[in-house]
């Protein structure tokens, strides 16, 4: 296991350790900093962060439940490879949830929300050219804002738990991430929310969330070592 130093992934001693550690390890796996198929050791993580093994054990259990690691008692714990079927299933569920969210928002057409979303679109356009990783963070913010505005923050937390495999694919695709196209799709969603067009709002978000169906085969072909095989 190679845990390279990065201040963004340091623990804050003033905050609860367990939730931080889970978030950090999850992010490192999602960003492919911890590589698919590599071993990850409870004692090594505890030593690296100078903490006891208990919060590490708890973080490992949560990561296992999310399908990101495989805990093999008395043997080793490994970073699981990306399961393309899990990616497709998560996308299907996410599309259903977010379609209902944008339809609900279109029934309200809140001008304050629309202004906030348009400000986010402008920020996305500013970073789109040269920073795909930052764009992904802004994309997350955009979708989270939609959920929270519909009073469905809990639904977004559920989606976040589902889509870890989708996120791993997204970070593998940074070199050919279609940012201008995704921003245009975001704008279409906002336009439909503003005009109160429920049907087109649903259509726009469904189209947006189907992008991965087109991209996944190419990403697998370029990065086969990151994906599990059907026989595994």
Does residue 165 surpass a pLDDT of 80?
yes
| Closest among 8, 84, 1, 81 to 46, alpha carbons compared | 1
Quote the longest CA-to-CA distance of the chain.
Answer: 59
Cα distances from 181 to residues 5, 110, 124, 125, 205, in angstroms, run 34, 25, 12, 11, 13
Q: What is the pLDDT at residue 160? A: 82
In this structure, the number of other CB atoms found within 10 A of the CB of residue 70 comes to 15
Check residue 227 and report its DSSP letter: B
Specify the pLDDT at position 153.
79
Q: Assign residue 133 a region: left if phi > 0, alpha if psi is -120 to 50, beta otherwise?
A: alpha
100, 205: one domain? yes
pLDDT at 110: 93
**For tokens 């599309």, what's the residue?**
95
Nearest to 175 by CA among 226, 137, 125, 130: 130
Residues 117, 72 share a domain: no
Check whether 232 has a pLDDT greater than 60: no
67 and 128 belong to one structural domain: no
pLDDT band with cut points at 50, 70 and 90 for residue 3: low
Highest mean pLDDT (candidates 1-10, 168-177, 198-207, 221-230): 198-207
Domain boundary among 79, 101, 135: 79
Quote the pLDDT of residue 8. 63
Residue 231 lies in a domain: no
Same domain? For 135 and 204 the reply is yes
Instruction: Show the domain range for 69.
Output: 7-79
- 5 pLDDT exceeds 60? no
Q: How would you label 140-152 residue by residue, b for 16+ Cβ within 10 Å and e otherwise? A: eebbeebbebbeb
What's 178-198 look like in SS3? CHHHHHHHHHHHHHHHHHCCH
Is the domain of 88 the same as that of 199?
yes
Residues 184 and 109 in one domain: yes
Please check whether residues 124 and 163 belong to one and the same domain: yes
As for how many domains the chain has, the answer is: 2
Q: Which residue has the higher pLDDT, 207 or 172?
A: 207
Write down the pTM of the prediction.
0.84
Domain boundary residue, one of 79, 98, 124: 79
- CA gap 213, 31 in Å, rounded: 20
Q: What is the DSSP letter of 80?
A: P
pLDDT over 60 (residue 1): no
Final residue belonging to a domain, choices 79, 112, 143: 79
pLDDT of res. 152: 83
Residues 6+ apart with CB under 8 A from 6: 33
CATH code of the domain covering residue 48 = 1.10.10.10
Let me know whether 28 and 142 are in one domain: no
Residue 138's domain is classified under what CATH number? 1.20.120.530
For 132-140, what is the mean pLDDT?
Answer: 89
Q: What is the pLDDT of residue 100?
A: 95
């Amino acid at each position: 296991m190679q845990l390279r130093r990065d201040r963004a992934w340091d623990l804050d001693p003033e905050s609860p350790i367990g939730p931080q550690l889970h978030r950090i390890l999850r992010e490192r796996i999602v960003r492919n900093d911890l590589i698919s198929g590599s071993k990850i050791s409870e004692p090594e993580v505890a030593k690296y962060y100078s903490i006891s093994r208990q919060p590490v054990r708890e973080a490992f259990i949560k990561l296992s439940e999310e399908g990101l690691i495989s805990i093999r008692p008395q043997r080793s714990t490994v970073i699981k490879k990306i399961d393309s079927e899990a990616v497709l299933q998560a996308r299907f569920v996410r599309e259903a949830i977010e379609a209902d969210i944008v339809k609900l928002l279109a029934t309200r057409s809140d001008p304050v929300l629309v202004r906030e979303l348009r400000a986010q679109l402008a920020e996305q356009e500013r970073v789109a050219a040269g920073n795909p990783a930052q764009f992904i963070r802004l994309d997350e913010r955009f979708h989270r804002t939609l959920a929270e505005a519909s009073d469905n923050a809990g639904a977004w937390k559920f989606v976040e738990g589902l889509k870890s495999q989708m996120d791993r694919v997204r970070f593998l695709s940074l070199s050919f991430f279609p940012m201008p196209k995704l921003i245009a799709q975001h704008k279409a969603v906002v336009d439909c929310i503003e005009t109160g067009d429920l049907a087109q709002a649903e259509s726009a978000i469904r189209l947006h969330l189907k992008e991965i169906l087109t991209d996944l085969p190419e990403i697998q072909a370029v990065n086969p070592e990151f994906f599990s095989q059907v026989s595994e």
